[in-house]
Amino acid sequence: MKKGMCAIWGTLATITQTDHGDGYVSERAGGQYRIEKISWVKTDQKRFDDAARARLTTWILDQNRLGVFYPLITEAILDDVMKSKPIKMSKKIERFFLFLDKINVQMCTEISTTYLGAGAFVGDLNDKIKVYTELMNDNECHDFKNILIEMKCFNELGQLSRTGFEFLEKYTTENINSNQVFVAMWFDETMNEIYDQGFEPGIQKDTGLTAHRIDKGHFTGKIDDEIIAEIRRSKFVVADFTCGETVRGGVYYEAGFAQGLGKQVIFTCHADQIQQVHFDTRQFNHILWQTPADLQKQLNDRIKALGLAIA
């Protein structure tokens, strides 16, 4: 390993050799990444401004959270970043509290001496919070801090307030009393009938539960924090590993994240594809289905056998 310059922000980074060339570790850029030479040139162009760098940082951070080892920044990724929109203020606030959870902030922690300074956030917390929230400079951090104070997330002593702690719980704690069931699956049009006639009725029939899947556009490989939040809000997770030619890495992440929270995960897969499932996951008792009707019955029976129904 050697010290070098972050290809995204021009800040200090560690450069290490991977099996596929140079890998960079940059706190400001969200963690580990690799970058194609032509892409590196593009990041240095004037049109790739700090706003685009901030969105690219979100991509790198989320890839690292997925467990991707040195994700490769390609020209296609950069084009997607250029076309993408900045995250909304509500999402910045949510990601801020995810950051507080990461560093294990508790109620009444003295933010005044450790996090909130006269300008923005104290010390290198500015840069760490920028990584999570897409804030681009200290002035934006200052304005963001004032928004949190106006929302009464901190009391007059600079401590995390009851309101702040409620936000922290909202975004970071599991909800075992929920009737929501998160479905992690391949969002291909060939799976729409499987969901409508298999997963949804299998979860909802005579159980008092509601199936929930997130199916929305976002640029390549990005893990939306809404997925994280919805898993936390769900009673348990159904993870289906049926896929096309590409393994659905997101489903592995979502199942692992749910297990890390201590939530029940029901594993499913089309019977013809179980050999494509990674060994570490294949050891679990999968529901192997052939048709939507078959899936519906097996899933409904499993939910009731595990005592997960609430009706």
Residues in CB range of 171: below 8 A, 6 or more apart: 94, 97, 98, 101, 229, 232
Query: Do 209 and 296 belong together in one domain?
Result: yes
How confident is the model at residue 112, as a pLDDT? 44
Query: Do 75 and 185 fall within a single domain?
Result: no
Cβ-proximal residues to 306 (8 Å cutoff; 6+ apart), any chain = 264, 266
Name the residue type at position 295.
Answer: L
Burial 46-74 (b: 16+ CB within 10 A, else e): eebeeebbbbbbbbbbbbbbbebebbbbe
Same-domain status, 229 and 272: yes
Domain limit, last residue, from 150, 172, 194: 172
Query: Tens digit of pLDDT per residue, the chain (311 long)?
Result: 789 999 889 899 999 887 777 899 999 999 999 988 766 655 565 567 889 999 999 888 877 775 667 888 888 888 888 888 888 898 899 888 878 877 765 544 544 444 554 444 555 677 788 898 998 888 888 888 888 888 988 776 667 788 888 888 777 655 666 899 999 998 888 899 999 999 999 999 999 999 998 874 443 445 566 787 788 889 999 999 998 776 666 788 888 888 877 788 999 999 998 888 876 677 788 999 999 999 999 999 999 999 999 87
Q: What is the pLDDT of residue 106?
A: 54
State whether 198 and 300 are in the same domain: yes
Same-domain pairing of 123 and 148: yes
Number of domains in the chain: 3
Asked if 159 and 188 sit in the same domain, the reply is no
Judgement on whether residues 78 and 152 belong to the same structural domain of the protein = no
Given 49, 65, 83, the domain boundary residue is 83
Q: Are 198 and 186 in contact (CB under 8 A)?
A: no
Say if 311 falls within a structural domain: no
Cβ atoms within 10 A of the Cβ of 234, count? Answer: 26
Give the whole-angstrom CA distance, residue 11 versus residue 13: 6
Domain annotation covers residue 58: yes
Q: Answer yes or no: is 310 within a domain.
A: no
Whether residue 255 sits in one domain with residue 186:
yes
> Could you tell me the CATH number of the domain that includes residue 275?
3.40.50.10140
Same domain membership, residue 139 and residue 49: no
Name the residue range of residue 209's domain: 180-305
Judge if 52 and 25 occupy the same domain. Answer: yes
